[in-house]
C-alpha cells in the first residue's frame, strides 16, 4: 500500500457484492461487540442501560463511520446523504453518527488503479497522456481524482471511479437500511422507503460520469458570463462512464477564506447564496451536494471554482413554488403565515403541530426575531441556532413526530443547509432579506 499526499494509505475497495456484504457483516459484528462490552461496563457500575444507549456510544459511532468509509461507494455516500450534513431531518443521534463520514476516503492501491485505467482506456492507456500523476489529489466516496496533462499542454483533473461501485449501489443501500432498521435508530413508524429508492436513483446517476460531464457543461454554459464563478469543462475523448477528465482548476480550499477579511468572506458567501437562489428559481436545476470539497477559491481572480456535478438534478415546479411560499412567509414576519407555509410545503405535518404547537411556535418566533433584526444576518452568531436546536431535539424525542418532507425538497434543503453551514464556518454577514425578496415576488422581478 502507498500513501497519498495527505497521509492516507491506499486501501483496496471491495469490488464484488459478496465481499461488500462480508464487510457489512463485520460492521454488524463489531457494533454488537461494542454494545456487549459497554453493557457489561455499565452493569458493573450499577446501571441498567437501554439498548439505544448501548448502540450510540462514541466507539460504535467511530466503528460505523470507519467501516462505511472503507467500503466507499454507495455505503459511504448514503451516510452523507441521510445525515443531510446538519441533522435537520433525522434525529440528532443518528445524524451525529452519519455526519462523521467525510468526503476524504482511502485511495485505491496501485493495482486497482491500473486495472480501472486499463479497462476504461485500454492496456496502452499511458500513451494517451503526456503525464499522469499516480498519487491522487482527492479521494471521495465514489472515486478519486488525479492530475494529468495532455500532449498539447492542457492541465487535467481525472476522476476515476472505484471498482464495483456502480454494480453495488442497490445492495449497499439495502444493507445500510437494514443496519438502521435492526439497530432501531429509525422507528418502525417512519417510512423511509421512498427516500431510499430516490437515493438509489441519484447514486446511479452520480456513478454515470458521462451524465456528470453533461451536467458540468450545462452549468458552465449557464455561468459563462458570470466572472465570479468558474466551472471546468469535460474532455469527451478521455471520459467514459467511469472516468471523467476535465480541466484542472487550481484554488484553495474554501475553508481558507476564514483567514480573509470580513468583507471578503461576506462577498463570497453572498455569491454562493445568490447562486443557490438562481439554481432554484431561475435554472430549475440544482447541484445538490454542498460539501466543502466541492468549492475552491481563486484569490488572484477573486472567484469561486465549482466542482462535482454528479448530484445535479432538475427541480420540480411544485417544489419551486413551495419554497417561494416559504420565502414569502419568512418575509411577512407573521408566525401564523410561517406555520401554514411549513405545513403546506411538507416540512411540518398537522399531527406534530397539534402535539408540539407551543414548541414549534417558539422555534418560529426565534427564527423570525433573528431574521428581521436590522442589518445583515450574522451567520457567526449561533445562539439562535442553539435555541432552535434545543426545541427541535425536544420534539424529536417522540418518534411520532419524525416525518420526512417530499424527496425533491430533501435534496434542495440539503443544498440550502450546506450553504448555510459554509456561511457559519466563515462567520459571514449577509443581507439575506435583500437576496430572497425578488424571488418571493416572482421570477420576472428576479431575472
Predicted pLDDT of residue 417: 87
- Cβ(87)–Cβ(99) under 8 Å? yes
Tell me which range, 130-134, 187-191, 405-409, is most confidently predicted by mean pLDDT: 130-134
The residue out of 174, 205, 236 marking a domain boundary is 205
325-338: pLDDT as tens digits:
999 999 999 999 99
pLDDT-derived band at 79 (thresholds 50, 70, 90) equals low
- pLDDT of amino acid 3: 42
Are 421 and 344 found together in one domain?
A: yes
Look at the block and give the residue holding cell 496502452. Answer: 124
Task: Answer yes or no: is 128 within a domain.
Answer: no
| Cα 173 to Cα 180: distance, rounded to the nearest angstrom | 11
Please tell me whether residues 201 and 255 are part of one structural domain. no
pLDDT category, 300, cuts 50, 70, 90? very high
The yes-or-no verdict on residue 6 having pLDDT over 50 is no
Read off the DSSP letter of residue 4.
-
The answer on pLDDT for 1 being more than 50 is no
Number of domains in the chain: 2
Quick one: pLDDT at residue 108? 86
If asked whether residues 336 and 429 sit together in one domain, one would say yes
The pLDDT tens digits for 334-357 are: 999 999 999 999 888 888 888 988
d(CA 150, CA 156): 8
Crossing angle of helices 317-332 and 432-441, in 10° steps, is 120
Q: Does 223 fall in a domain?
A: no
Q: Are residues 197 and 270 in the same domain?
A: no
Q: In whole angstroms, give the CA distance from residue 139 to residue 76.
A: 12
Say what angle helices 73-83 and 169-182 make with each other, to 10 degrees.
50
224 sits in the region (left: phi over 0; alpha: psi -120 to 50; else beta) called alpha
Within-domain flag for 308 = yes
Indicate whether 257 and 354 sit together in one domain. yes
| % of the chain at pLDDT higher than 70 | 72
My answer on whether 196 and 267 are in the same domain is no
pLDDT of residue 8: 52
6 assigned to some structural domain: no
Residue 216 has pLDDT above 90, yes or no: yes
What pLDDT score was predicted for residue 334?
Answer: 94
How many other CB atoms are there within 10 angstroms of residue 420's CB atom? 23
pLDDT of residue 74: 55
pLDDT tens for each residue of 363-403? 999 889 989 989 999 998 878 777 887 887 788 777 777 77
For the chain, percent of residues with pLDDT exceeding 90: 49
Q: Which domain holds residue 420?
A: 250-447
Report angle CA 81, 86, 88 to the nearest 5 degrees.
90
Residue found by looking up cell 457489512 in the block: 24
Query: CA 84 to CA 44: how far, in whole Å?
Result: 38
Regarding whether 172 and 93 lie in a shared domain, the answer is: yes
User: Are 366 and 304 found together in one domain?
Assistant: yes
Query: Is the torsion defined by CA of 352, 185, 55, 182 positive or negative?
Result: positive
Examine residue 299 and state whether it is found in any structural domain, yes or no: yes
Q: What angle do CA 336, 407, 192 make, to 5 degrees?
A: 105
Identify whether residues 191 and 102 lie together within a single domain: yes
Nearest to 150 by CA among 129, 133, 127: 129
What is the secondary structure of 265-329 as a DSSP string?
A: HHHHHHHHHHHHHHIIIIISEEE----GGGEEEETTTTEEEE---TTEEE--HHHHHHHHHHHHH
Q: Which residues of 265-284 are buried (b: 16+ CB within 10 A; e: fewer)?
A: bbbbbbbbbebbbbbbbebe
Give pLDDT, residue 84.
Answer: 43
Can you list the positions of beta strands (E) in 167-259? 229-230, 243-247, 252-253
Per-residue model confidence (pLDDT) at position 140: 76
State the Cα–Cα distance between residues 341 and 338, nearest whole angstrom: 5
**Residue 130 · residue 149 · CB < 8 Å:** yes
Mean pLDDT for 217-231 is 97
For residues 154 and 171, give the distance between their C-alpha atoms in angstroms, rounded to a whole number: 39
pLDDT-derived band at 5 (thresholds 50, 70, 90) equals very low
Q: Is 429 left (phi over 0), alpha (psi -120 to 50) or beta?
A: beta
Q: What is the pLDDT of residue 76?
A: 58
pLDDT band at 25 (very low <50, low <70, confident <90, very high): very low
Position 220 in a domain: no
What is the arithmetic mean of pLDDT over 216-229? Answer: 98
Using pLDDT thresholds of 50, 70 and 90, give the confidence band for residue 38.
very low
pTM here is 0.79
Is residue 244 in some structural domain?
A: no
Assess whether 264 and 367 both reside in one domain. Answer: yes
- Does residue 46 surpass a pLDDT of 60? no
Catalytic site includes residue 289:
yes
**What average pLDDT is seen over the chain?**
80
**205 near 211, Cβ under 8 Å?**
yes
Examine the fold and report which residue of 205, 229, 263 is the final residue of a domain before the chain moves on.
205
Return the pLDDT at 35. Answer: 41
From 4, 103, 289, 408, active-site residue: 289
Q: Comparing C-alpha atoms, which of 317, 322, 329 is closest to residue 347?
A: 322
What are phi and psi for residue 305, nearest 5 degrees? Answer: -95, 130
Give me the DSSP letters along 149-187.
E-TT--EEEEEEEPTTTGGGHHHHHHHHHHHHHHTTSS-
pLDDT of residue 385: 78
Task: Quote the pLDDT of residue 406.
Answer: 83
Same domain, yes or no: 375 and 288: yes
Question: What is d(CA 369, CA 382) in angstroms, rounded to the nearest whole number?
Answer: 14
* 340 falls within a domain: yes
Based on the fold, state whether residues 185 and 285 are members of the same structural domain: no
pLDDT digits (tens, 9 = 90+) for 156-170: 999 999 888 888 888
For 317, counting Cβ atoms within 10 Å of its Cβ (0-12 exposed, 13-18 middle, 19+ buried), the class is exposed
pLDDT bucket at 121, cuts 50 / 70 / 90: very high
Amino acid at each position: 500500500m502507498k500513501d497519498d499526499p495527505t497521509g492516507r494509505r491506499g486501501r483496496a475497495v471491495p469490488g464484488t457484492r459478496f465481499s461488500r456484504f462480508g464487510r457489512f457483516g463485520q460492521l454488524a459484528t463489531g457494533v454488537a461487540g461494542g454494545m456487549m462490552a459497554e453493557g457489561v461496563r455499565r452493569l458493573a457500575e450499577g446501571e441498567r442501560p437501554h439498548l439505544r444507549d448501548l448502540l450510540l456510544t462514541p466507539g460504535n459511532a467511530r466503528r460505523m463511520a470507519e467501516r462505511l468509509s472503507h467500503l466507499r461507494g454507495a455505503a459511504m455516500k448514503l451516510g452523507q446523504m441521510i445525515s443531510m450534513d446538519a441533522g435537520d431531518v433525522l434525529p440528532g443521534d443518528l445524524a451525529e453518527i452519519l455526519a462523521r463520514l467525510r468526503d476524504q476516503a482511502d485511495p485505491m492501491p496501485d493495482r486497482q488503479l491500473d486495472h480501472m485505467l486499463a479497462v476504461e482506456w485500454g492496456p496502452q492507456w499511458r500513451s494517451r497522456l503526456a503525464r499522469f500523476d499516480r498519487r491522487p489529489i482527492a479521494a471521495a466516496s465514489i472515486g478519486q481524482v488525479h492530475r494529468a496533462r495532455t500532449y498539447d499542454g492542457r492541465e487535467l483533473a481525472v476522476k476515476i471511479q472505484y471498482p464495483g461501485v456502480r454494480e453495488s449501489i442497490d445492495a449497499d443501500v439495502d444493507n445500510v437500511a437494514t443496519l438502521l432498521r435492526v439497530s432501531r435508530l429509525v422507528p418502525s413508524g417512519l417510512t423511509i422507503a421512498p427516500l431510499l429508492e430516490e437515493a438509489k436513483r441519484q447514486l446511479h446517476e452520480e456513478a454515470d460520469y458521462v451524465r456528470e460531464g453533461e451536467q458540468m457543461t450545462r452549468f458552465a454554459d449557464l455561468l459563462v458570463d458570470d466572472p465570479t464563478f468558474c466551472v471546468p469543462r469535460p474532455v469527451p475523448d478521455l471520459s467514459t462512464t467511469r472516468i471523467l477528465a476535465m480541466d484542472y482548476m487550481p484554488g484553495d480550499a474554501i475553508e481558507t477564506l476564514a483567514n480573509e477579511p470580513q468583507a471578503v468572506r461576506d462577498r463570497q458567501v453572498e455569491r454562493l447564496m445568490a447562486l443557490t437562489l438562481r439554481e432554484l428559481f431561475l435554472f430549475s436545476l440544482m447541484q445538490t451536494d454542498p460539501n466543502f470539497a466541492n468549492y475552491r477559491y481563486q484569490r488572484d481572480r477573486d472567484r469561486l471554482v465549482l466542482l462535482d456535478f454528479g448530484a445535479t438534478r432538475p427541480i420540480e415546479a411544485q417544489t419551486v413554488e413551495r419554497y417561494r411560499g416559504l420565502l414569502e412567509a419568512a418575509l411577512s414576519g407573521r408566525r401564523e403565515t410561517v406555520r401554514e407555509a411549513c405545513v403546506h410545503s411538507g416540512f411540518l405535518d398537522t399531527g406534530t403541530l397539534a402535539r408540539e404547537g407551543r414548541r414549534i411556535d417558539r422555534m418560529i418566533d426565534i427564527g423570525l426575531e433573528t431574521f428581521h433584526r436590522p442589518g445583515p444576518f450574522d451567520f457567526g452568531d449561533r445562539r439562535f441556532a442553539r435555541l432552535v436546536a434545543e426545541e427541535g431535539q425536544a420534539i424529536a424525542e417522540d418518534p411520532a413526530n419524525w416525518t420526512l418532507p417530499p424527496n425533491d425538497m430533501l435534496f434542495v434543503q440539503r443544498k440550502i443547509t450546506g450553504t448555510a453551514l459554509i456561511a457559519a464556518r466563515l462567520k459571514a454577514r449577509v443581507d439575506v432579506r435583500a437576496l430572497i425578496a425578488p424571488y418571493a415576488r416572482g421570477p420576472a422581478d428576479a431575472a
